[in-house]
Chains A and B, each alone.
Chain A
Amino acid sequence: MSEPQTDTTPLRRTPLHDRHVSLGARMVGFAGYDMPVQYKEGILAEHQWTRTHAGLFDVSHMGQCFLIGRDHETVARALEALIPADIVNLKPGQQRYSQFLNEDGGVLDDIMVTRSADPDEDGTLMVVVNAGCKDADFAHLKAHLPSPIKLLIAEHRALLALQGPEAAMVLSRHCKDADQMAFMTGASTLFDAIPVHISRSGYSGEDGYEISVRADKVAIIFERLLAHSEVKPIGLGARDSLRLEAGLCLYGHELDVTTSPVEAAIQWSIQKRRREEGGFPGFERISRELKEGPSRKRVGLLPEGRAPAREGTEITTEAGEKIGLVTSGGFGPTLNGPCAMGYVDTANSAIGTKVHLMVRGNAMPASIVAMPFVPHRFHRS
């Protein structure tokens, strides 16, 4: 049986590394970190557990930073020069998904931005970025933020995600009123007596939270959450199958420096004011693509058979003409079948279009379908 290639670069560790090992995790290199890809029960069981109960993920490899300015408007305008989201009009405590863009409108990274809910912290934005991009992102921020804006890289902070339909009930036992928070809002609060910043968001398609805490306190929170019968530890394998079923982009797969947010079908993250006013890198291309449509588009792909189509699989018309490539593909445990995402020429991107996926030289019939593959169950109050 063939074995996957392994990278031998020394890997960084999160504060919970030894705990993952003691829980029986299989550790793999991911974005420079030695991370749990699965625990003893395996990816299928972990995926299903998250969809039905609450899954606890260590995502401390992700980058966290704070941008601090004189007031909200000052810091928001500084960040808006690098991303296409409307940050000026974020309300205190509100969170938004966005992207760092290059001059061509290509995506450098996709990020979450939260305006501090605390009036004493007016002028503070919390930004969470991908692990694999964080060093470049922080350098990008340092190079481009005007000098009165302070960049505070929160290397001393860890990050957990608690995802699933029972996450709100569980977290409310430790964080007062966590279940009262609206989707895509954040708050500084106490977990028992430990200061944390929580946001009601995540990347599984389920209701849930991300919990940012000082690295030296994360083990206590991890254990207290794990002590609940509703909670199990979940590895990166299920994190990936959950986000794939949810139709969410993963940097390095659906997003890279060549893809624009319009091609990636995440133009919902560019609010009206920014579309009209511009003032972000790549505005010319993005504006044109919004008006005329992009030349290629990210789509969902549902194979008719059982064979998964992996990243890099060629997508063709039924006549065999190449129209694109799969960017993420695998098996959806909740869907109980294969599903994939990829880019195709816009002319062939309509929902319902029949295509072929070239898996090991065979043309596998598939359809272009609307995403998500599994309906989102975010908390909408």
Chain B
Amino acid sequence: MGEIKYTKDHEYIRVEGDVAVVGISDYAQSQLGDVVFVELPKLGKALSKGDEAAVVESVKAASEVYAPVSGEVTEINSGLEAQPGAINEDPEGTGWFMKVKLADPSELAGLMNEADYKAYLASIH
């Protein structure tokens, strides 16, 4: 497993070679509550960093998930359609959203590592 990095909007990205797995952090899922629906991007979609990449809906509300980096969507977690609860149960494992082929690996430098993200969570509470 590659290194995991986080955005201030609580997406995570786990880099495995030139492909990155994207999802939402455990903190994000705990804030959302029960996830009941996910809208994922189309395969092959070219995302720019900060684009709306997906929508995650809890019982109460819909939230956008932003692309942590630029790149092309190479795989989506279609299992979430039937099991959106995986995002609550295992956000950084079976609850992943999509895989993205990195367009510009230097963008990773602007993201937080796990320790920085923990400190960031502590600072917003």
Contact = CB atoms under 8 A, between A and B. Distances in A.
The yes or no verdict on A and B being binding partners is yes
Interface of A: 1-4, 26, 37-38, 42-45, 47, 237, 240-241, 306-308, 310, 330-331, 333, 338, 360
A331 B57 contact: yes
B92 to A, nearest CB: 14
B33 interface: yes
A1 B37 contact: no
Contacts of A307: 37, 39, 57
B28 A1 contact: yes
Contacts of B37: 306-308, 331, 338
Contact of A43 (B10, B11, B31, B33): B33
Interface stretch (B58-66, B70-78, B101-109): B58-66
Contacts of B61: 4, 310
B99 to A, nearest CB: 18
Interface in B39-82: 39, 55-66, 81
B60 A37 contact: yes
A42 B29 CA distance: 12
Interface string B24-39: 1000100111101101
Given A4-B63, A308-B37, A308-B62, 4 more contacts: A2-B63, A43-B60, A237-B33, A306-B36
Contacts of A3: 9, 31, 63
B59 A330 contact: yes
Contacts of A240: 60
A2 B88 CA distance: 17
B55 A241 contact: no
A42 B36 contact: no
Interface residues of B, number: 26
Dominant secondary structure at the A interface: mixed
Contacts of A333: 59
B65 A44 contact: no
A310 B62 contact: yes
Given A1-B66, A42-B34, A360-B55, A330 B39 contact: no
A42 B36 CA distance: 12
Contacts of A44: 34, 36, 59
Nearest to B55: A360
Contacts of B65: 1
A330 B33 CA distance: 14
Interface in B79-99: 81, 88
A38 B33 contact: yes
Contacts of B60: 37, 43, 237, 240, 330
A307 to B, nearest CB: 6
Contact of B81 (A306, A308, A310): A306
From A1, A240, A308, A330, residue with most partner B Cβ within 10 Å: A1
14 contacts: A1-B10, A1-B24, A3-B9, A3-B31, A4-B61, A37-B60, A42-B88, A43-B34, A43-B60, A44-B34, A44-B59, A47-B59, A306-B81, A307-B39
B33 A2 contact: no
A61 B120 CA distance: 35
A1 B33 contact: no
Interface in B1-35: 9-11, 24, 28, 31-34
